[in-house]
A and B are shown apart, each in its own frame.
Chain A
């Protein structure tokens, strides 16, 4: 093994970390606005009428759903997917790589101002890969990473005083399952199927 110049190695590590954080998913409302403004195509009048009718119906259904049970904020879901993408595309390993929860959980001590209420140790079906710090909704959050076959599942745990109802949302193909427990927000994100994600949720809640 050759001896690397330590300063060059420091530059390489900083560059690797930078390349992970320079690409940020644009907020969905910005993306939607840009698409509306710049990808507009000319359509016959009846398509506008149909779109209007469909939009009105969707809005009515949406309003009913909102009135019954508020959906998770767009910010939470976007943030969860963005942080999950940062984890799966990162070139450097997780801050703590271990399949033993007794190694992963203590690593957060001193790095977070709360103890993440996660006790699921992982098993043969959901192998714990490790943990890391994520910035979630402007605050530090714990990220636990599980592996199910070839799929990566991120669990974000953040201090959250808002009581949130359990929600299932799909954004750009990623499933986000969020709930609240004892003053903490939890968000599971993966490209895995809903059944598997619900299975992991059940194990985390036990």
Chain B
């Protein structure tokens, strides 16, 4: 007797271009600012960021990608955007710096006195954005998702990695941000 294959999750066609798809498109378009915010932190230019947001919606609503029933629309859109960004980098022959998860960042000697913390309270957005831009792609991706309010399990689902990996990447990303901002502010 042939072995039964595991059943694939039921898929919902996202965009049939008909009336039922419209409300989903409306829901998806509510996330455009968040997606654009992530894209701006990933891409070197605003026009590249706009391109991957366009492509994300084209894949999501054009029937290329499918949303599994009961899955999180917001997380699904972010996952597609990540894929679009990686594809764009490949097309442009940009080598993405990948952080080595097997190597833990050694904690630097840090002193956070009241004055240093006050500097962080009045941190200029441009300084913060410069610091985020120094992170390797995967750390930048995770730290922005964390700031967007995703929990570790959701980030792991979007980034296709284990929750433990998310935890360690977040730890390293925060350490790098602190190091980059101490002395820059």
Instruction: Report whether B29 and A135 are in contact in the complex, using a CB–CB cutoff of 8 Å.
Output: no
Chain B hits for A86, CB < 8 A: 125
Is there an interface contact between B37 and A22, defined as CB atoms closer than 8 Å? yes
Q: How far is the CA of A41 from the CA of B23 in the complex (A)?
A: 11
Does A206 make an interface contact (CB < 8 A)? no
* Set of chain A residues within 8 Å of B25, measured between Cβ atoms: 38-39
Tally of A interface residues using CB under 8 Å: 37
13 sampled A-B residue pairs with Cβ under 8 A: A10-B120, A14-B181, A17-B120, A19-B147, A26-B33, A30-B32, A30-B54, A31-B32, A38-B61, A39-B26, A41-B19, A95-B122, A135-B126
Q: How would you classify the secondary structure of chain B's contact residues: helix, strand, loop or mixed?
A: helix
Q: Tell whether A59 is near chain B: CB-to-CB under 8 Å.
A: no
Specify the chain B residue showing the minimal Cβ separation from A94. Answer: B122
> A30 with B50: in contact, given A13-B120, A17-B125 (CB under 8 Å)?
yes
A64 within 8 A of B: no
Which of A20, A23, A25, A26 counts the most chain B CB atoms within 10 A? A26
What distance in Å separates the Cβ of B26 from its nearest Cβ neighbour in chain A? 7
Q: B32, B37, B123, B132 — which one has the most chain A CB atoms within 10 A of its CB?
A: B123
Q: Are the C-beta atoms of A22 and B50 separated by less than 8 Å?
A: no
Q: Say yes or no: B125 contacts A22, CB within 8 Å.
A: no
Decide: A13 near B121, CB < 8 A? Known: A7-B110, A34-B32.
Answer: yes
- Is A14 a contact of B113 with CB atoms below 8 Å? no
Bound CA span A14–B61, Å: 35
Contacts of B126 in A (CB 8 A): 133, 135, 140
Distance A95 CA – B126 CA, assembled complex (angstroms): 14
